[in-house]
């Protein structure tokens, strides 16, 4: 084992752990070429700052709570941050171990498999440890509350055990899933799905945290504890009663299982890593090339399959769906304390309010990171190839937009409808919300499609280049600000008109005015974009 070799490999592999941060570093280099920005140092610095931030921010949050008397809350926080750390570590590990595509560079070099493997583990350590840092504060505070200053070293030991458990679980899942993916002929698709699922796992944990904090129960001015969560209660049990049966079941037994997984990693997964990740992948690619058969399908179906194939990018899918889903779901979590029967009392005469909510939710889907906003640039060299083919290029662009906007709005649209049913809205209100969403999303995404056409980039290297071109971040911020400010103003004006004119008259007025506005927007799009393509 050569530590100098391992360190050099770490400096290379850490760049794959967080593609978004790497893109930001590239942008800084382009803006300030005179500055000597070392990529791996910048990544290490960012991860270190995040660890310190998570440690001390949650330390101040936890210090006011006596977790020795509230073990249920303790186990809840341990579970939350442990799961988020596992999801984040798995995402980084998969990117480094299987998605980096750098193994063909190492294969002819005199590098031991164990050295490369250890370097990749250390490279992914920072991403997983970030979400574990709150547990460092949590364990130290619990140990101090239970046994005073002398028990604090046990808190540090618990953190190390949690870190080892997190890495072992993430590595095991990484090898099981990665081994299946490299054998598949649809490796790119599965990689995209994995990235989406890990992001959803992190977001789901965050939403659970928000919902749990929104449902804090009080009795006589004191917090009411929650049930202890199995396995995660072990860190509490071993401090309070280290020889009890519950401690054996929730602390010692899981440690034995983690030890078994670690032995499997050392004896089975590490020696087979090159064979699994590199050679099997090369064999599968060769087989897929031989077995590929092109069926005689219609032109439209072939083009639709092509449009779908260009979207197999995990970063794109996560970014395009995050905003239109995140904000509506956050509204639900922050509204859990509201009595749903109050909302359910609104009759169909208030359909104008539901229509406005649908317009606002639909507008959230039109961002510089949406499918229509980058769809044409995703074609790369194929864009010029299609333009040279004897097909109607305008029809090709229209078909591509319909495919892109349908995929962009389908899932968020279903989420918005589900929110309506969750609050017990009447059918007419849910229908108004759904139709308003479709109208707003369809028209406003056309502006993003036109923006992509005008700012076409076919030689992009990283997805974030497409998101940020033409001041993409500022466009997204200004658009969101416009939706919230104008939406709030219009909503307030609608409430005032309802008091003066009544609910039904106001709803009809809102519907007519909004239809006229969107008809004008569509007219402008036809004049400035679609007719220009003739």
Token pair of 307 as six digits: 């449009």
User: Per mean pLDDT, which range of 118-127, 157-166, 177-186, 246-255 is the poorest?
Assistant: 177-186
Tens-place pLDDT, residues 374-395: 889 888 888 888 888 888 888 9
> pLDDT above 90 covers what percent of the chain?
15
Mean pLDDT of 468-486: 72
Domain ranges of the chain: 3-289, 311-529
Identify whether the C-beta of residue 143 lies closer than 8 Å to the C-beta of residue 238: no
406: confidence class by pLDDT, cuts 50, 70, 90: very high
Would you say residue 505 has pLDDT above 50?
yes
Q: Are 376 and 383 in contact (CB under 8 A)?
A: yes
Contact 448, 373 (CB under 8 A): yes
Q: Which two tokens stand for residue 277?
A: 């990740």
How many Å apart are CA 335 and CA 333, to the nearest integer? 5
Q: What is the mean pLDDT of residues 447-471?
A: 80
Judged on CB neighbours under 10 Å (0-12, 13-18, 19+), 97 is: buried
Per residue in 348-378, pLDDT tens? 888 988 899 899 888 888 888 889 998 898 8
- DSSP code at position 102: -
The pLDDT value given to residue 294:
45
**Longest alpha-carbon distance in the chain:** 82
Residues 6 or more apart whose CB falls under 8 angstroms from that of 515 comprise none
DSSP label at residue 219: E
The DSSP 8-state label assigned to residue 391 in this structure reads: S
Q: What is the pLDDT of residue 192?
A: 65
Mean pLDDT to the nearest integer, 60-84 = 85
Average pLDDT, the chain: 80
Question: b or e along 134-166 (b: 16 or more beta carbons within 10 Å of the residue's beta carbon)?
Answer: bbbbbbbbbbbbeeeeeeeebbeebbebbbebb
Judged against a pLDDT cut of 60, whether residue 216 lies above it is answered with no
Q: Using alpha carbons, select from 134, 133, 131, 140 the residue that is nearest to residue 158.
A: 140
Pairwise CA distance, residues 287 & 292, whole Å: 8
Which tokens in the block code for residue 149? 């200053």
Which residues touch 458 (CB under 8 Å, ≥6 apart)? 377, 379, 380, 381, 383, 384
3-state helix, strand, coil in the chain (%, to 5): 80, 0, 20
In the predicted model, is pLDDT for residue 157 greater than 80? yes
Residue 188 pLDDT class (50, 70, 90 cuts): low
Cα(381)–Cα(460) distance, integer angstroms = 11
Q: What whole-number distance in Å separates Cα of residue 254 and Cα of residue 256?
A: 5
Task: Output the six-digit token pair for 161.
Answer: 């055990």
Torsion angles phi and psi, residue 56, rounded to 5: -80, -30
Where does 266-361 show beta strands of DSSP type E?
Answer: none
Grade residue 398 by pLDDT with cuts at 50, 70 and 90. very high
| Strand partners of residue 222 | 219
pTM for the model stands at 0.66
Contacts of the segment 337-345: beta carbons below 8 A, 24+ positions apart: 337/214, 337/215, 340/422, 340/423, 340/424, 341/424, 343/423, 343/424, 343/425, 344/423, 344/424, 344/425, 344/426
Residue 332 binned pLDDT confidence (cut-offs 50, 70, 90): low
pLDDT band, very low/low/confident/very high, at 437 (cuts 50, 70, 90): very high
Phi and psi at 276, nearest 5°, equal -70, -50
Q: What pLDDT, on the 0 to 100 scale, is given for residue 256?
A: 93
Q: Which residues contact 323 (CB under 8 A, 6 or more apart)?
A: 364, 365, 367, 369, 476, 480
Residue 454 neighbours by CB distance under 10 Å:
11
pLDDT value, residue 11: 79
| pLDDT at site 521 | 93
More confident residue, 523 or 68: 523
For range 438-444, the mean pLDDT: 93
At 221-232, the pLDDT tens digits run: 566 677 788 888
Average pLDDT over residues 160-182: 83
| pLDDT per residue as tens digits for the range 191-202 | 666 666 666 666
For 232-290, how does the pLDDT look when each residue is reduced to its tens digit (9 = 90+)? 888 988 888 888 888 899 899 999 999 999 998 888 877 777 666 665 555 545 554 44
Tokens 């064999």 belong to 283
Which segment of 59-63, 139-143, 204-208, 282-286 scores lowest on mean pLDDT? 282-286
How far is the C-alpha of 374 from the C-alpha of 431, rounded, in Å? 30
DSSP state for residue 243 in the 8-state scheme: T
pLDDT over 50 at 70, yes or no: yes
């Amino acid at each position: 084992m050569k530590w100098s070799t391992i360190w050099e490999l770490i400096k290379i592999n850490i760049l794959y752990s967080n593609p978004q941060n790497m893109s930001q570093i590239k942008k800084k280099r382009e803006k300030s070429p005179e500055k000597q920005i070392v990529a791996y140092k910048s990544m290490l610095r960012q991860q270190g700052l995040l660890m310190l931030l998570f440690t001390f921010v949650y330390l101040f949050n936890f210090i006011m709570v006596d977790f020795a008397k509230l073990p249920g809350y303790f186990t809840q926080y341990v579970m939350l941050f442990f799961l988020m750390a596992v999801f984040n570590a798995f995402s980084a590990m998969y990117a480094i171990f299987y998605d980096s595509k750098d193994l063909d560079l190492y294969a002819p070099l005199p590098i031991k498999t164990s050295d490369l493997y250890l370097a990749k583990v250390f490279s992914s350590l920072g991403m997983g440890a970030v979400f574990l840092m709150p547990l460092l504060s949590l364990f130290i505070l619990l140990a101090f509350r239970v046994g005073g200053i002398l028990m604090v070293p046990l808190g540090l030991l618990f953190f190390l055990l949690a870190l080892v458990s997190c890495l072992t679980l993430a590595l095991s899942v990484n090898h099981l899933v990665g081994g299946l993916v490299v054998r598949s002929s649809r490796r790119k698709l599965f990689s995209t799905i994995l990235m989406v699922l890990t992001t959803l796992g992190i977001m789901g944990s965050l939403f659970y945290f928000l919902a749990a904090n929104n449902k804090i129960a009080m009795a006589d001015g004191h917090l009411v504890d929650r049930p202890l969560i199995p396995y995660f209660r072990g860190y509490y049990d071993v401090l309070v009663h280290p020889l009890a049966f519950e401690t054996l079941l929730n602390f010692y037994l899981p440690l034995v299982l983690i030890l078994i997984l670690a032995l499997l990693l050392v004896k089975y997964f590490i020696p087979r890593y090159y064979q699994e990740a590199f050679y099997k992948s090369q064999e599968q690619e060769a087989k897929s090339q031989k077995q590929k058969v092109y069926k005689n399908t219609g032109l439209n179906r072939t083009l639709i399959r092509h449009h779908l194939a260009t979207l197999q990018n995990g970063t794109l899918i996560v970014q395009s769906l995050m905003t239109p889903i995140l904000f509506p779901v956050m509204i639900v979590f922050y509204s859990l304390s509201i009595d749903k029967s109050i909302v359910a009392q609104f009759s169909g005469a208030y359909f104008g309010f539901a229509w406005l909510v649908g317009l606002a939710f639909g507008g959230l889907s039109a961002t510089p990171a949406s499918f229509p906003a980058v769809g044409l640039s995703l074609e790369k060299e194929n864009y010029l190839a299609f333009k040279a083919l004897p097909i109607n290029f305008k029809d090709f662009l229209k078909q591509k937009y319909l495919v892109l906007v349908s995929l962009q709005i389908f899932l968020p649209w279903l989420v918005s409808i589900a929110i309506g049913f969750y609050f017990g809205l009447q059918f007419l209100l849910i229908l108004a919300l759904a139709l308003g969403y479709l109208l707003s999303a369809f028209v406003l995404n056309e502006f993003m499609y036109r923006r992509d056409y005008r700012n076409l980039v076919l030689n992009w290297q990283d997805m974030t280049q497409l998101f940020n071109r033409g001041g993409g971040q500022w466009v997204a911020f200004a658009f969101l600000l416009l939706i919230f400010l104008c939406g709030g103003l219009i909503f307030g004006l609608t409430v005032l008109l309802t008091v003066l004119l009544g609910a039904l008259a106001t709803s009809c007025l809102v519907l007519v005015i909004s239809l006229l506005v969107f008809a004008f927007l569509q007219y402008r799009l036809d004049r400035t974009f679609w007719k220009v393509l003739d």
